[in-house]
Structure 1
């Protein structure tokens, strides 16, 4: 059983990213840049497919990587991560411990400013709600289960798309709706550069943030999107109450539901 990492990146001019990532397995690298190119690299005895494309959008990049993947276990990795030594054995060990697992969310450690990223404290099975706390850059999955269930990333969501975030939540929600088994694992799979806490998509609790949040809920569920919005507005109001009222946040999220359903 082999491990393969799937990396989405942009504007790479050379192969130095391979050293930065600390690759110790096969890999597929999708480099969104200004030209199309395909090459296969032998990197320390591992097969790395390096694919340059002109298309834009994180979800498009993830989907292309999925379509090219061949590994038994695949890991979604961002270009600002440094994988921990021995990560392939860590992944195999986790799936051996949970033989019925289809997807496992690992821990990430912050480089720089400490983030609010959720940290697993137990190895356990996840439900649909607590799985929504994970971003895609820490999950490993059985490739065949994703393909058999025709699961991919919605191209309307994610950096460079119509709605700038939420692609990972929709992906995980789809896994649940298809009956896959999701687990958490306490080992740290990689270190990630948080630096000053800046984000490619989060620019404050503004109209865009809440509209996109409503669109995510509409994509996740056909009938309960309004309920998700109400729960979020009440549960997380303390985060943004200094800037936005519950009424205003709900109004914007409802606009997001309508925007998604009108596309």
Structure 2
């Protein structure tokens, strides 16, 4: 999956083909991409291993490769509600990987670098503002209507350094919950 801020490294296609040969049971392989931003260069995948539900939400679309045949067979698609330019600014990649796991696909990470991503300007990230937190709450509900409150709780604990400069924990919790419930209500109204 490519984007206009990506530059593939020489030989990236061979790296991808070789990884699928080395791991023939893999349906989806997430490769390392080097993220270049104001704070430096960051690797997204630092080790080769299996992707589980508990570590699936840390990978972006730029890392993603898959066997098209199994994705079509399992009827897995990207949500048009989430992502740059959509109603909810981000999360399409998380939902896609989550759906792959729910449908039993074998997903692994491979630490080989296939591209550089230059995040100078984001089309969707405008800072840790109210929209960011509401959209994150909507994503948590979309991932799991049953466990979205646990996602909210873990976010409040694990990501507190992201929001404490501008918001207190209660405000962020309210925004996350508000986004989740707004998504739930819109989804429920469409079913009627």
TM-score w.r.t. length of structure 1 = 0.67
Report the secondary structure of 2:119's partner residue: strand
Q: CA RMSD in A?
A: 1.5
Q: Determine if the alignment matches structure 1 residue 200 to structure 2 residue 123.
A: yes
Match of 1:218 in 2: 141
Q: Determine if the alignment matches structure 1 residue 88 to structure 2 residue 9.
A: no
Q: C-alpha offsets along residues 171-226 of structure 1, whole Å, 9 cap, x if unaligned? A: 1111110111111111110122223xx32111121110110001001111120001
Report the secondary structure of 1:222's partner residue: coil
Query: Larger helix proportion, structure 1 or 2?
Result: 2
- Give 1:111 shift: 4.6
Alpha-carbon separation, structure 2, partners of 1:207 and 1:120: 29
Query: Larger strand proportion, structure 1 or 2?
Result: 1
Q: How does 1:72-221 map to 2 (within 5 A)?
A: 76-111=1-36, 113-114=38-39, 117-195=42-120, 198-221=121-144
Match of 1:256 in 2: 179
Retained in 2: the 8 A contact 1:153–1:167? yes
Alpha-carbon separation, structure 1, partners of 2:37 and 2:85: 25
CA distance 1:207–1:112, change in 2 (3 Å): closer
Report the secondary structure of 1:94's partner residue: helix
Retained in 2: the 8 A contact 1:118–1:133? no
CA distance 1:180–1:187, change in 2 (3 Å): same
- Give 1:131 shift: 2.0
**Structure 2, gaps ≥5 residues long:** 187-192
CA distance 1:239–1:187, change in 2 (3 Å): same
Match of 1:228 in 2: 151
Retained in 2: the 8 A contact 1:217–1:228? yes
TM-score w.r.t. length of structure 2 = 0.91
Alpha-carbon separation, structure 1, partners of 2:119 and 2:126: 15
- Greater relative contact order (Cα < 8 A, sep 6+): 2
